[in-house]
Amino acid sequence: MSLHHADRHDSVPVDTVDTLRQMIAGMDSAVFALDREYRYLAFNPAHAAFMKSLYGVDIAVGGALPDYQHVPEDWLAAQQNLDRALAGETVTTVASSGDPARTQRYFEVRHVPLRTADNQIYGVAVYATDVTERESALHEARSLLAQNQLVLREVHHRIKNNMAMVDSVLALQASTVNDSTAEVISTTRRRVQGVVTLYERLMRTAEYENVMIREYVDELIDSVMETLVGDPGESRAIRVDRRLGTCRCTVATKHVFPIGLVVNELITNSFKHAFPHGREGAITLSLSPGPDHTCVLRYEDDGVGLAADAPGSQPEQVPGEHLGMTLIRELSRQIGTEAEIGRGGTPGFQASIPIPVHRGE
């Protein structure tokens, strides 16, 4: 092995091997070499110092590493990596060394086969860098993250329970009022249940910042349909065609709440207004990737549609606009987009809402 160096203008001889020896001796990282019997061929002062501090031993060339490593677990882990290198593999790993109760340190260790001129493996070169501070910081960060996730999971659990209690109170209230008031309460219950569905999903996943929108919308449709079909007079055949495809978009949790309420409103409005007098019909809901980091939610039904002068077909709210349409527009603006609402087929209704997706998509 040779070193590249600048041309010299004096006659001082340069010993390449000695230069390498001095370079390795001055390294903070531990460097050592073992033969096939795990006996030391060479080591630098940093490695000798580490072995002294970790195991209280003074190592020597010719001594066997397993005789110095007094912690059995350390030697078992080291032997596996050394054997892989002796088989011709270059191995990099993070390993702990020393007594866990007193002297344990963490090292990033690289094992490289040593070969003769005819390519026969005669030993292993090992390069170990102390990464204890880094690993300690990572361990603390993971611990804090786990604690925060536990707290957040408990918060979601309590909110879900509170929302379920609100739903129960609304159900009791609906049984004591006249039909028109009961209908308003039922609509409110569906909105509450949409929020409960989201919290149930958050409680089942380790990912709290983002939600897979396809799976959430699929569950939400089930929840909304269950409450609508359970309503008196709503058991007629209205088919919901889900075209959610293979969309793998994830959406920030802060955006999922408005989206859930939008889907709730769209389906409820179709059931309540698009198919009068017991008419049968179909609702189609699809998700597909859109431009500029969006996932487009498209909704349509084949009901009576909006009247020609219906305010829902206009970009802005106007006097007399149906509360559901107003709510859909405002909820869309909460996620930074505009809902396109208008006539679908003849007759029919359609809406298109771009949803900002997680930037990792």
Higher pLDDT, 298 or 179: 298
Band of residue 272 on the pLDDT scale cut at 50, 70, 90: confident
Secondary structure of residue 128 in the 3-state scheme: strand
What pLDDT is recorded for position 207?
Answer: 63
What pLDDT is recorded for position 192?
Answer: 80
158 and 137 together in one domain: yes
What pLDDT is recorded for position 34?
Answer: 95
Domain contains 1: no
Domain that holds residue 190: 132-206
How confident is the model over 115-165, as pLDDT tens digits? 999 999 999 999 999 888 887 888 888 887 777 767 667 776 777 778 788
The two three-digit tokens of residue 118, written as one number: 């005819």
Number of folded domains that form the chain: 3
Domain contains 7: no
- Which residues lie closer than 8 Å to 236 by C-beta, 6 or more apart? 275, 278, 279, 280
169 and 252 together in one domain: no
Q: What is the CATH number of the domain that holds 116?
A: 3.30.450.20
CB 107 within 8 A of CB 97: yes
What pLDDT is recorded for position 4?
Answer: 37
Please identify, among 161, 183, 206, the residue that sits at the C-terminal boundary of a domain.
Answer: 206
Residue 348 pLDDT greater than 90, yes or no: no
Q: Alpha helix (H) ranges present in the chain? A: 16-25, 45-55, 65-68, 72-86, 132-174, 179-203, 213-229, 253-269, 323-334
Instruction: Report the pLDDT averaged over residues 16-34.
Output: 85
Q: What is the CATH number of the domain that holds 292?
A: 3.30.565.10
57 and 157 together in one domain: no
354 and 236 together in one domain: yes
257 and 243 together in one domain: yes
Residue 201 pLDDT greater than 90, yes or no: no
Higher pLDDT, 189 or 240: 240
How confident is the model over 242-263, as pLDDT tens digits? 998 777 788 888 888 888 888 8
What pLDDT is recorded for position 59?
Answer: 94
The two three-digit tokens of residue 63, written as one number: 């001594």
pTM above 0.75, yes or no: no
What pLDDT is recorded for position 118?
Answer: 94
217 and 357 together in one domain: yes
Band of residue 298 on the pLDDT scale cut at 50, 70, 90: very high
Please identify, among 206, 227, 250, the residue that sits at the C-terminal boundary of a domain.
Answer: 206
Band of residue 313 on the pLDDT scale cut at 50, 70, 90: very low
CB 232 within 8 A of CB 174: no
160 and 198 together in one domain: yes
33 and 126 together in one domain: yes
How would you classify residue 117: left for phi > 0, otherwise alpha for psi between -120 and 50, otherwise beta?
alpha
Domain contains 8: no
User: Which residue from 160, 187, 191, 162 is spatially nearest to 174, judged by alpha carbons?
Assistant: 187
Higher pLDDT, 317 or 83: 83
